[in-house]
Amino acid sequence: MTIPGKGWHALLHNWGKDLQLWLYITATLQLFRLLLIGIYFEQAGTRGGAGALFTVLGNGLRYDVSTAGVWVLPTFLLSLGCTLLPCAGLVQSLRRFSAQLYAVVAILVFGIDLVFFGVYGDQFNQMIFGIAHDDTRAILVTIWKEYHPLLFLAISLPLILVNLWLIRRWLAYTPRLVPHLGQNPGPLLSRFGVGLVVFLFMAATVRGGTLWGEPIRLKHAFVVDDIFLNRSVVNPFTALRYTVKVKLELEKGAALASFWPSQQIGEALAYELASRDEAAPASADIDQALALEAQGHSGERPRHIFMLLIESHSGWTVMPAYRHVGLSPRLSALADRGIYFPNFLPAGSGTIGSMNTLITGLPDAGLNINYEPSAQSPYPSALAANMKRLGYTTRFFYGGFLSWQRLDSFARNQGFDEIYGGGSMSAGVHTNEWGVDDEYLYDFILGKLDDQTPSFNFILTTSNHPPYDLDLEALGYPLKELPAPLKATKEDTVKVLGHLWYSDRQAGHFVEAAGKRLTRPLFAITGDHTARLQIRFPGDNAVEQTAVPFILYGPEVLAESGVTRATAGAHQDIPATLIELAAGSGYRYTAFGQDLLAKGSPSYGYGWQFIIGEEFIANDAERYSVYGLPASPPPAQKPELKAMHTRFNALKALSWYRVKKGATLP
């Protein structure tokens, strides 16, 4: 059938083909969602029934029609020119290219998103920028070893060819009705009416299926009470678009509105001070306004402080409900003999976000603080800078290489006197692309300790991280399978958990050895984020997938020991807690968090995407779901978290402003 190069018939024909491409894209996005849910469905909690699934598919369709609408919009608009100009062939060629581009890109994006979800338990998020800021060589080696890119391409290529064939056949097909639509164009008014209807339809699809209501936004993805299903609502293209958008906003200065819509940072500061029961700021300086006065610690002042940030150490392995699994026996013993905070969240989704918060004392606001110009001098809330003021020699130990995240200069700029990386520890010992094994890191640290000089020591480990190449059998790893009702949903889960077990054992050995050598040591132990494993837990599993442990251990320092505190907290609370333990009464310091040993009840912890309380955990969103803690149901009455959500946003706004704009209020 020959299609005229211009005129009403040409316009309708092109719009019909745009509709066909739109339907194809929408269908493939929905099919991918079903595939993603099917592959990872065992991650769903107890609230992931058929009703929730249909809700996710229905709401996900809104994102799909929007993505498809944006994809076909160029040819849809260019087709208008065919009413006057003989450009139908050009538009068809452009559509053919657009369709083929989608056929190739979609398969690659779908495949990468599936792998990404398997690693991070989420679709594309800010972790994709790790390859830019991280140790690129180490990441590429890890990808080569762990994710088999050649196999990925071998699977992707035939799927791309099939997708190209399908999309060509689909666009070559013309429904019988279409050739007759333009033969009798009718009066101009009728054609205008048809065009208007088509335009309104296209506008509605781009807006996510609505003309008059609010267009589809990322916040609309939280539609059910299951964390896993909520993360499958958006399609990969939407997830990637929002990830890039947020990154650009954070870097270019437009992000303040996402935390504090009025962008009046003074309002955010006043809100935080009111939450502390303090008056409106008398100072125009954020650092001074957020300054606290140490209350003085009832026990003896620690002579040596160790901040252990253990790679990928999940909180659930230390919780009493799961200790029988035997993955964290050493930290569990320290928790029983020290002060244990089970209701505890990481600051960020990855190592760098959590580490930055612990080093700078600033809540994670999505920035790579270590690359910011303002980080070239210590923030007043920085932990090491405060410890130096309190008379401690400050040391930074990292089992990896200091080129990662520019740690050498960043640590020095934030107040560390001595900085050591894997390059100082690797002679004659086993290493991989991420650094040295934990046992060699701790041996090196023990060799640097001097009991005569008070010290603050920040330690970041690497062993519980790909490529997971430890000889676990030689090390005596006892676990062969997870006990019921836990279930591993990946073949290598038990092997990967062996590296968590190893990091626990080495941390325990180090605490024991350092405790024997030193006077009044204090150990603060936490994980940077949970291990990203596919494990089926009983119940809601929100805490299991989110929490990290926090343990304070120091029998000579802590008057209170052998207790488990229900006090809820997060990484941003650790600097204030350690400063209070190290400082005398009256010492003034800036803090965005709270002293965990002095928090009142009810207490809350603000972490990445979640707020935790003493009896629950909830996703940090306008429409939030509430989940119970292990072996406990959620509260009978849903807690009101609007004030907590607003306070968390105020803290993130203040953190972002402090990094990007400085301490002075406008």
pLDDT confidence of 337, banded at 50, 70, 90?
very high
Q: Give the start-end residues of each E strand in 160-299.
A: 291-293
**DSSP SS3 for 117:** helix
Q: What is the pLDDT of residue 179?
A: 57
> What does the alpha-carbon distance between residue 100 and residue 103 come to, in Å, rounded to a whole number?
5
Q: What is the pLDDT of residue 188?
A: 65
Q: Residue 69 has which token pair? A: 């609408």
Mean pLDDT for 120-148 is 70
More reliable by pLDDT, 141 or 241: 241
pLDDT in tens, 513-535: 999 999 999 999 999 998 877 78
* DSSP per residue, 476-543: T---SSPPTT-EE-STTHHHHHHHHHHHHHHHHHHHHHHHHHSSSEEEEEEESS-----EE-STT-TT
pLDDT in tens, 218-277: 777 878 878 888 889 999 999 999 888 877 776 666 678 889 989 999 999 999 999 998
Q: What is the pLDDT of residue 394?
A: 98
Report the candidate in 512, 557, 530, 520 with the shortest Cα–Cα distance to residue 319.
530
Pairing of strands 521-527, 550-553: antiparallel
pLDDT in tens, 386-411: 999 999 999 999 999 887 778 888 99
Q: What is the pLDDT of residue 3?
A: 60
**DSSP SS3 for 316:** coil
Domains, the chain: 8-249 (no CATH), 295-660 (3.40.720.10)
Find tokens 């603050």 and name the residue.
456
**DSSP SS3 for 564:** strand
> What does the alpha-carbon distance between residue 147 and residue 153 come to, in Å, rounded to a whole number?
11
